[in-house]
Amino acid sequence: YGKYRYQRSKKQTISKKSASTVHLKEIRVRPKIEEHDLQVKLRHITRFLEQNNKVKITMMFRGREIVYSEKGRQMMDDIKDRLGESCVIDQPPKREGRNMIMIVSPKKS
């Protein structure tokens, strides 16, 4: 029985190693982000997508910025356009309280 338990545990560890896990990474941006900062965030997003991770893009509104949520939606659409065909949008931009959230995942090849 001891040999059987040992072999079973070995099989389980091998199957755990071979199973790939998908993590949800988060990138946080603000509506008034500068162009270069946005480019850096986009590079991070593409790197996460290349590693087969889902990415949650969170647009944070502070103070009176919530009044200009349309500008935030335009920014999210701009991010979506810049990512192009490299990803699939799982959840389109949606407001939740003071945040706007969009979830993208890597394109299956």
Classify residue 3: in a domain, yes or no.
no
pTM: 0.77
Classify residue 14: in a domain, yes or no.
no
Q: What is the mean pLDDT of residues 12-17?
A: 86
Classify residue 2: in a domain, yes or no.
no
Which range of residues forms the domain containing residue 91? 22-106
The lowest-confidence range among 15-29, 74-88, 95-109 is 15-29
Classify residue 52: in a domain, yes or no.
yes
Q: How many domains does the chain have?
A: 1
CATH, residue 53: 3.30.110.10
pLDDT tens-digit readout, 30-82: 999 999 999 999 999 999 999 989 999 999 999 888 888 889 999 999 999 99
Residues 6+ apart with CB under 8 A from 54: 22, 23, 24, 25, 90, 103, 104, 105, 106
